[in-house]
A and B are shown apart, each in its own frame.
Chain A
Amino acid sequence: EDQVTQSPEALRLQEGESSSLNCSYTVSGLRGLFWYRQDPGKGPEFLFTLYSAGEEKEKERLKATLTKKESFLHITAPKPEDSATYLCAVRFLNSSASKIIFGSGTRLSIRP
């Protein structure tokens, strides 16, 4: 069964305390993995796209990596404004049709 799982569900960190969020997937025919940030009551905001194992992308305090089975979103020295829900989404081919599945997200809270 095609599935995307994110862990942990929720994460509370002190400001400056680095950590990682995980997105594991079991799909065939991966065509891309996307990371989004979502603030309460707003639409998801695009962060990164990764296409192949070994690929890495960075933006400010965030770094995304990809292996054949999972992706990590590393957050270095986070600030309170990094508090949000982080969603990963996987695009894959299913019976020649392009599909996308979102993970359930990680709710990140950064305490000052």
Chain B
Amino acid sequence: DTEVTQTPKHLVMGMTNKKSLKCEQHMGHRAMYWYKQKAKKPPELMFVYSYEKLSINESVPSRFSPECPNSSLLNLHLHALQPEDSALYLCASSQDNGDIQYFGPGTRLTVL
């Protein structure tokens, strides 16, 4: 199984809502990543978890809160988002931090 799954595929939320994005992989990878991608732009790294510990936080606003419950799961908790946070949120995993990353299909987030 070389697949990274993400749910939901689409999410529309208001600025006062609280929601979560989920990511799962069963490849035994020990590093997992969250990226944000705006239209016609490259993915921007947000967070890196290595061996279930947060190793990189690229100065992301606190309205984004990552969580790694176990080595297969990665969540991104969203609260009080702004319309400019609307984007495609990508999850990726790799055998170890810095190795080849395998991406999920993404969650298309719209903040109203």
Contacts and interface: CB of A to CB of B under 8 A. Distances in A.
Interface of A: 31-32, 34, 36, 41-46, 49, 87, 91, 97-98, 100, 102-105, 107
Contact of A41 (B42, B88, B97, B102): B88
A34 B101 CA distance: 9
Nearest to B90: A43
B100 interface: yes
B48 to A, nearest CB: 9
Contacts of B101: 34, 46, 100
| Interface SS majority for chain A | strand
Contacts of A32: 98
Interface in B31-55: 40-45
Contacts of B44: 102
Contacts of B103: 36, 43-46
Contacts of B102: 46
B108 A41 contact: yes
A2 to B, nearest CB: 13
Interface residues of B, number: 21
B106 A43 contact: yes
A35 to B, nearest CB: 11
B42 A105 contact: yes
A83 B22 CA distance: 30
Nearest to B98: A98
A29 to B, nearest CB: 12
Contacts of A104: 41-42
Contacts of A91: 98
A103 B42 contact: yes
A97 B4 CA distance: 25
A104 B43 CA distance: 8
Interface centre among A44, A46, A97 (most CB of B within 10 A): A44
Contacts of A107: 40
Contacts of B4: 43
A87 B102 CA distance: 14
A43 B45 contact: no
